[in-house]
Amino acid sequence: MLEARGLGCARGGRALFENLSFAVKAGQLWLVRGANGSGKTSLLRILAGLLPAEEGELVWSGEREPPLWVGHRVAVSADLTARENLEFMAALEGDDAGAAAAALEAIGLGGFSETRAGRLSEGQVRRIALARLAFSARRLWLLDEPLTSLDETSTRWFEAQLLRQIERGGAVVMATHRELSDSLQGWTLRLGA
Amino acid sequence: MMGRIFAAVFRREVRLAWRRRGQLLQPLMFYALVMLLFPLGAGADLTLLGQAAPSLLWVAALLAVLLAQGPLFSADLEEGGIELWVTSGVSLSWLALAKLIAHAMIVSLPLILISPILAGWLGVSGEALGVLVISMALGMPVLCWVGALGAALTLGLPRGGILLALIVLPLYIPVLMFGAGAVHAAMEGRPAGGALVLLAGLLCLGASLAPLATAAALRISQE
């Protein structure tokens, strides 16, 4: 689906990683691991097209498709309700409002759909952003520390979404410090080693 | 599909503007206060007031628009909304166009609507009031779009506000000259059509170039 050839990235005059090559294929889960500041976020941003690759290149097999990106900043507006936020994200992907409402219900935010995101907890805000996973048809998911401040129930829901994405032939590249359940077998990319 | 996305962005902007209406009040208050205080400071010389009125109205409105530019993309940057746009696969210029049109309406409409009242206070009347409203309806969106481009270029910079003013003010000058010029002409009984047509030209230029330039600036802001 996506192949990285000799990727390199330097931030603030310091080389984070060099000559990094890997190929993400359909049905694969890639876990990017490494210490804080080892370049996990930069790597994901390069894959998402937010940062240009200073060295090396990204080769897409077939047409370049937009990935689903959930970054450290989750694109949830504090002044909009949970439902309005998710409906906007759905609209950008061409999905209708019904998908958004069902996804909120599934991630356990049904009772908060009319609450402004600014009044929700950090974990709940992250759940709004992750609810996109329930309806997104994007084949490549790029997730930067998606498990931050998630409770156990939501983590299990999230893992179920990952499994569904992989089983239907999508791919996931995610940076995380946490261990996933044993049912999820992934390839590990260790940065800064 | 593209139309629905346009509508979604537009709806989101209007909703956010309404929820953050305190932010909108600031430029409006600034505009009204300048126009209310100036006659008190200038004394009772009605001819002087009348002569200064067009430029004064336009300068104050222009600075009010400039006040509204700073926070335009800052929340989107902090919350990650711009990342969502850039990665969405939808043309960034199209998203920027929807945002810019909403922004121009939200900022300009209140200013345009109170202009006749404030102009009346300065002794502008008759046909000149109509020309004032038309010139503002044509010119204010251009000011908003140039300002939005400046806001996108200075996004994330510390003390970006000063830089924003430096980038934007030279580009505001033609709009100010044609806008105030049209009202001056109408007050003196000369035809104002020429200046208005030039403003309309600037409006077309702004509508076609601002989304492209803003999209490019937003993309750079992510690097």
What letter would DSSP give residue B43?
A: -
Contacts of A77 in chain B (CB under 8 A): 12, 16, 75, 79, 81
* Residue A162, phi then psi, degrees to nearest 5: -60, -45
- Measured between CB atoms, which of A69, A73, A79 is closest to B87? A69
User: Residue A94 — pLDDT band, cuts 50, 70, 90?
Assistant: confident
Whether residue A106 contacts residue A70, with contact meaning beta carbons closer than 8 Å, is answered with: no
CB contact under 8 A, B88 and A92: yes
B83 touches chain A (CB under 8 A): yes
Q: Which of A92, A139, A141 best probes binding to B when mutated, by most B CB atoms within 10 angstroms?
A: A92
Q: In chain A, where are the structural domains located?
A: 1-67+140-193, 75-137
Q: pLDDT over 90 for what percent of chain A?
A: 67
B3 in A contact zone (CB under 8 Å): no
Phi and psi torsions of A3, nearest 5°: -125, 130
Please give the single-letter amino acid code of residue A12. Answer: G
Q: Amino acid letter at A165?
A: Q
Comparing CA positions, the residue from B220, B154, B85 lying closest to residue A51 is B220
Question: What pLDDT is recorded for position A44?
Answer: 94
Whether residues A91 and B222 touch (CB distance < 8 A) is answered with: no
Interchain proximity A50–B83, CB inside 8 Å:
yes
Burial of A111 (0-12, 13-18, 19+ CB in 10 A): exposed
Residue B85: which of B105, B69, B99, B71 has the closest Cα? B99
User: CA-to-CA distance for A109 and A103, rounded, in angstroms?
Assistant: 9
Least confident of A80-94, A123-137, B37-51: B37-51
Q: Looking only at Cα atoms, what is the longest distance across chain A?
A: 48
Say whether pLDDT at B216 is over 70. Answer: yes
* SS3 letters across chain A: CEEEEEEEEEECCEEEEEEEEEEECCCCEEEEECCCCCCHHHHHHHHHCCCCCCEEEEEECCCCCCCEEECCCCCCCCCCEHHHHHHHHHHHCCCCHHHHHHHHHHCCCHHHCCCEHHHCCHHHHHHHHHHHHHCCCCCEEEEECCCCCCCHHHHHHHHHHHHHHHHCCCEEEEECCCCCCCCCCCEEEECCC
* Chain A interface with B: residues with Cβ < 8 Å: 45, 48-52, 65-69, 71-80, 84, 87-89, 91-94, 116, 142
Contact A16, A38 (CB under 8 A): yes
Q: How many CB pairs under 8 A join A and B?
A: 75
Q: Dump pLDDT digits (tens) for B125-155.
A: 889 999 999 999 999 999 999 999 999 999 9
Which positions in chain B touch A88 (Cβ < 8 Å)? 8-9, 12
Torsion of CA A108, A174, A33, B220, to 10 degrees: -120
> Closest residue of B to A44, CA-based?
B87
A188, β-bridge pairs: A31
Contact in structure between B140 and B115 (CB atoms under 8 Å): no
Chain A residues close to B90, C-beta within 8 Å: 92
Give the span between the Cα atoms of B137 and B81, in whole angstroms.
29
B159 touches A: beta carbon within 8 Å: no
Query: Taking CA atoms, what residue in A is nearest to B13?
Result: A80
Q: What is the pLDDT of residues A47-69, one digit of tens each?
A: 999 998 888 999 988 888 899 99
* pLDDT classification of A167: cutoffs 50, 70, 90: very high
CB contact under 8 A, B89 and A66: yes
CB contact under 8 A, A69 and B84: yes
Q: Return the pLDDT at A15.
A: 85
What range does the domain containing B68 cover? 2-221
Q: Lowest-pLDDT range, A122-136, B33-47, B173-187? A: B33-47
Q: Inform me whether the pLDDT recorded for A193 exceeds 70.
A: no
- Using a 10 angstrom Cβ sphere, with 0-12 exposed, 13-18 middle and 19 or more buried, the burial of residue A21 is exposed
Work out the number of other CB atoms within 10 angstroms of the CB of residue A4: 20
Minimal C-alpha gap between A182 and chain B (Å): 31
CATH top class, domain A1-67+140-193: alpha beta
Q: Are A109 and A127 in contact (CB under 8 A)?
A: yes
**Residues whose CB is less than 8 angstroms from the CB of residue B221 and which lie 6 or more positions away in sequence, other chains included:** B73, B77, B82, B152, B155, B156
Looking at the 3D structure of chain B, how many domains does it have?
A: 1
Does the global pTM surpass 0.95?
Answer: no
Residues of chain A contacting B1 with CB distance shorter than 8 Å: 94
Indicate whether A114 pLDDT > 90.
yes
Q: How does DSSP classify residue B44?
A: S
Query: Which of B153, B65, B173 has the alpha carbon at shortest distance from B109?
Result: B65
- Of A49, A74, A91, Cβ closest to residue B8: A91
Q: If you average pLDDT over residues B98-121, what whole number do you get? A: 95
